[in-house]
Amino acid sequence: MKRIFVILAVATALVSCNSHRVVISGDVLGVEDGTIYLTEPTRNGAVIDSTLISGGKFVFKLDDAAPEFYAIKSAEGVITMLYTESGKITVAGNVDNSSVTVTGTAANEALGKFNEDMTLLNQRYAQAADDNQRAEIRAEYDTFLDSTVESNLGNIFGVSLFIDTKGYELSAAEMIAKLESLSQEMKALPVVAQTVEKCNRKMRTEPKSEGSDFVPTYINIEQPNVDGQMVSLQSIVEKKGNKYVLLDFWASWCGPCMGEMPYLKEAYAKYHKKGFEIYGVSFDRNADAWKGAIKKQGMQWVNVSLLESFNNQAATDYVVESIPTNFLIDCSNGEIIAKNLRGEAVLEKLADLL
């Protein structure tokens, strides 16, 4: 639940085909005179524009600017984050006491209100007397998030928030259906097209959806094991005696991944002789850390890694954006029949199957 009570500064870059003029006027205390920059966080801080600030005052004028999520930065650090929506945007406040606000357009004011409300929720959560109160606040957060998204799907903040927070909860088919219901203006945002494209790839490896005729099958992976020998997923799926293979993406540095190991070890001990195998793909970078985790955890199944973190074709093919992520494969036909079996769920599923 850690991510729930972090104030969201949504960093999804959104680009529109519609040209428009943006004027950002600032009057901000706590910033030294000199040059300040408009940067794009999602492209490693690429500088989009620069201007001078004097006595706290500055102006950015952008012609034919696309709606993006940007940061305004000085030599000392970030002044504020904002959306470059068409119109006049005002930045005001004091950097020293974090009181900078952004007003003037729907998305920026919605983001500001959202962060204010999240601050209050954070404070109440920190001051909660017991688990019951914390559970009530978590439930309140869920309702608050849903209502914020629904009331802002007509601006880029709402679309950003929806994609960033619901992308992990909804199936690919559900996400596509929701995006298709947006206005033409919002559907014109390339981030929507990018998300739809990603969801179409995701559907190739997601369990069959109700009402769908598409049967997802595994995509082969071939990477070196701890001895440096290349081992393919296909060879494990097609190995005589194997009935079900769990393709598990993990890493030694991933706490939740380590939390899943007791369940996987129990499942392996109980069902391996009945035809259950695990093909673990690590997103480690350090060989010693990877091999050390395998030894410490007693992971007796197949383990492979390119030692390149998420930078490998398997992450792309299976659209793995966070770990742990797993896929259960039926060896009889190669079909992916389940995804993200966490905790007891993997044991329950195997009990039904084997």
Q: Please check whether residue 150 is in contact with residue 178, taking contact to mean a CB–CB distance below 8 angstroms.
A: no
Q: At residue 7, does pLDDT exceed 70?
A: no
For 239-296, how does the pLDDT look when each residue is reduced to its tens digit (9 = 90+)?
A: 999 999 999 999 999 999 999 999 999 999 999 999 999 999 999 999 999 999 999 9
For 194-218, how does the pLDDT look when each residue is reduced to its tens digit (9 = 90+)?
A: 888 888 888 888 887 655 677 899 9
Mean pLDDT for the chain? 89
Q: For residues 17 and 54, which has the higher predicted lDDT (pLDDT)?
A: 54
Q: What is the 3-state secondary structure (H, E, C) of 280-326?
A: EEECCCCHHHHHHHHHHHCCCCEEEECCCCCCCHHHHHCCCCCCCEE
Q: At residue 46, does pLDDT exceed 80?
A: yes
- Residue 224 CA to residue 231 CA, distance in Å, equals 6
For residues 49-73, give the mean pLDDT.
91
Least confident of 28-37, 135-144, 161-170, 285-294: 161-170
- What is the pLDDT, as a whole number, of residue 267? 97
Token representation of residue 162: 């929806």
CATH no. of 2-119: 2.60.40
Q: For residues 53 and 193, which has the higher predicted lDDT (pLDDT)?
A: 53
What are the backbone dihedrals phi and psi of residue 64, each rounded to the nearest 5 degrees, phi first? 55, 40
List helix spans (H) across 131-254. 131-151, 156-166, 172-180, 184-187, 190-202, 233-237
Q: What is the domain partition of the chain in residue ranges?
A: 2-119, 127-202, 222-353
pTM exceeds cut of 0.75:
no
Q: At residue 8, does pLDDT exceed 70?
A: no
- What is the pLDDT, as a whole number, of residue 44? 74
Q: At residue 14, does pLDDT exceed 60?
A: no
- The fold for domain 222-353 equals Glutaredoxin (3.40.30)
